[in-house]
Amino acid sequence: MDSSQKHIRTSLLALFVSIVLACSLAPALAFGTPASEKQAEAEAALATLNSLQEELDKASNDYFEALAEQEAAQAKMDEAQKRIDVATLRISELQTQLSTRARSMYRNGVTTFFDILLGSSTFTEFATNWDLLDQMNEKDASMVQETKKLRAEIQEQKDEFARQEKIAAEKKEEAEKVKDEAQRLVDEMQATYDSLSEEAAALLEQERAAQSAAAAANAVNSINSNSGGGNSGYLPPADDGTIVGRAMAYVGNGEYVWGACSPGEFDCSGFVSYCLTGSYSRLGTTYTFLGWTEVDDPQPGDVCVNEGHCGIYVGNGMMAHAASPGEGIIVSGVQGGMIYVRY
């Protein structure tokens, strides 16, 4: 081996050693502070984010419940106004009838019922006029009484209108406050993400993955114990036209946006609503879904729900859901405490 070959061999060896040293030192350089501190930072961030997400999901429920109550109050206002309009029109008709007959009697020179009776030339005419006047008197009295009743109803409906108007205003104000609180929570969550170091952020994702894996294992065990077999199949691919297909189509492609139910942007109940119907309109909140028929043999396409969160069951103990602003639309284990309901 000549000197040039020895030189090349020595250089290659030195390069190899330097690469090995660089690789072995990289973790130490990347984690300038002890790993335990980064782990603690990630765990604290995860706990904060989970807590904020629970509040955010509750805020979504409260917001849309308030909007629904505002809409209901507005509908009752409209109903009251319709009844007021109908009663007002009827009063106008009654007054017209009474006024028309009064004017007719005046034009005919008749001033009182006695004039009609005394103007009778025969007993038969007198009896006929008496019956006629009696009927007219009853009709007049009936119209007057109906008018009084309608006026009372109008006042009652005006009071109801005012009451429902107040409720609608209160619910609108309540919804705005919830919306502002939700924005504060979103900002706080973003601040938590922004405060994390790169290392802690990586550990945070590991913690989340571990939580999802544990939740999936618990869900599978629960299903197996309840049904004796469970669903051990693979996760289905995106396939438009089915509930699960619509859910899977947005996994990894959709964002969590509070209060949203629109293409690519959902909160948890908005996402479930879209998956179930294929329409970007909200069916309700988790409170709504909790009132649906519960099933103990969950099938892909059922809804997983508790008081704070919901998702679409896709099989194998997993659900697709709008998880959080940081995660978007994901598949993870069915959360503890959830029930399964069918649309």
Cα 276 to Cα 139, 191, 261: the distances in Å are 59, 34, 12
239 and 190, same structural domain? no
26 lies in a domain? no
Q: Say how far apart CA 333 and CA 315 lie, in whole Å.
A: 10
Q: Could you identify the residue written with the tokens 């007054």?
A: 95
In DSSP terms, which residues pair with 331 in a beta bridge? 320
pLDDT digits (tens, 9 = 90+) for 50-86: 888 989 989 999 999 999 999 999 999 999 999 999 9
Q: Could you identify the residue written with the tokens 């007049």?
A: 140
267 and 177, same structural domain? no
pLDDT digits (tens, 9 = 90+) for 201-233: 788 878 777 776 776 666 556 655 555 444 444
Q: Could you identify the residue written with the tokens 């899977």?
A: 248
**CATH number of residue 170's parent domain:** 1.10.287.1490
Banded model confidence at residue 198, pLDDT cuts 50, 70, 90? confident
Q: What is the mean pLDDT of the chain?
A: 79
46 or 233, higher pLDDT:
46
276 and 134, same structural domain? no
List the domain range (segments joined by +) for residue 276.
229-341
Task: Write the CB contacts of 199 (distance below 8 Å, at least 6 apart in sequence).
Answer: 30, 31, 38
22 lies in a domain? no
